[in-house]
Copies of this chain bind each other. A is one copy, B any other.
Amino acid sequence: MSEQQVASYPVDDTNRVKRRHQRAHYDHATVHALLDSAALCHVSYVIDGQPYCTPTLYWREGTTLYWHGSSASRMLRNLSEGQPACLTVAHLDALVLARSAFHHSADYRSVMAFGHARLIEDQAEKARALVMMVDRLFPGRTAGLRPTTDQELKATAVVTMEIEKASAKIRAAGVIDDEEDYALPVYAERIPVRSVLGAAEPCGRLMPGLARPATLSGFSAGRLLDEALTESYAMSYPAG
C-alpha cells in the first residue's frame, strides 16, 4: 500500500510526538490495533481547572471511542458540544536495564486519542452502547442475558468521543546503550512484562449443569490479555 493510501489521523501540536519522534505512529491501523488490544484505558478531563485521570473500561467503533463515564456524568450532562478529553491506553512490555542510568527505560506500546467527550443521552443509542460494552469483550454474550431494565439503563453513564487526533508511541528496542558503554563491565538486560489471563473462576452459585460457553474459549489460562481482547474485538466488529 503506498503512503498516500494509508488512512491516518491528522497531526498538529496537540498530538505530535515531540520526544523520540521516530517511535511515533499516526496511521489508523496502528492506533486502532492498540486500542482494540486492551480493556482498560485512562481518560483525562478538566473540571474547574483540575485535571482528572480516570481509569475505566472502553471500546472503539470505527473512529469513535466509548467508555463508562459515571465519574464524568455531572460535568458532561447537557453539554452536547462536548468537553475536551484525552483517552490513553498503555501496555508496559518490559523493564530495560542499560549500562547507564540515562538509558534505563521501558518497552511499551501506547496510544493517546484526543477529542470532545459527550455523554450519551439518547436511550436507544445508550442501550446499543451497553450491549457493545459487554459484547465487545465477550462476543454475543448479551443475547444470553436477561434484558437490561430501564432503571439499569438510567443508572449507567456512557461517554462517547470521536477521535479527532491520535498518536501511538511504541518502544520495542530492549537494551540500547551509547556505543562506548558496551565495553563497560555492567550487566544489562530486558525484563519482559506480560498481562496474562488466569484460570477462569466460575461463580460459586451457578445453576447446576451450566457449562462454560464455547464463546469464552479464547479467554484461556496463560493467554496474553491483549491477544484475547484483539480476537474478541475482531469477532464483535468483523469490519474492523
Which residues of A are at the interface with B, using a C-beta cutoff of 8 A? 14, 18-19, 39-40, 42-46, 49-55, 57, 70-71, 84-88, 90, 92, 94-95, 97, 99-102, 104, 106, 108, 110, 112, 114, 130-131, 133-134, 137-138, 141-142, 144-146, 148-149, 152, 155-156, 174-175, 177, 181-203, 205-207, 210-213, 216, 219, 225
Contact = CB atoms under 8 A, between A and B. Distances in A.
Contact of A202 (B106, B187, B219): B187
A152 B185 CA distance: 20
A201 B185 contact: no
Contacts of A97: 138, 141, 216
Nearest to A49: B84
Contacts of A144: 186
Nearest to A97: B138
A51 B85 contact: yes
Nearest to A137: B95
Contacts of A190: 200-201, 203
A156 B102 contact: yes
A112 B192 contact: no
A175 B198 contact: no
Given A99-B145, A101-B145, 16 more contacts: A19-B71, A40-B92, A46-B46, A51-B84, A51-B85, A54-B88, A92-B225, A95-B219, A101-B130, A101-B134, A101-B142, A145-B186, A183-B207, A193-B196, A193-B225, A194-B195
A207 B195 contact: no
A45 B40 contact: no
B183 A202 contact: no
B225 A203 contact: no
A181 B146 contact: yes
Contacts of A142: 101
B189 A202 contact: yes
A66 to B, nearest CB: 14
A187 B219 CA distance: 14
B51 A86 contact: yes
B187 A198 contact: no
A203 B117 CA distance: 44
A187 B211 contact: yes
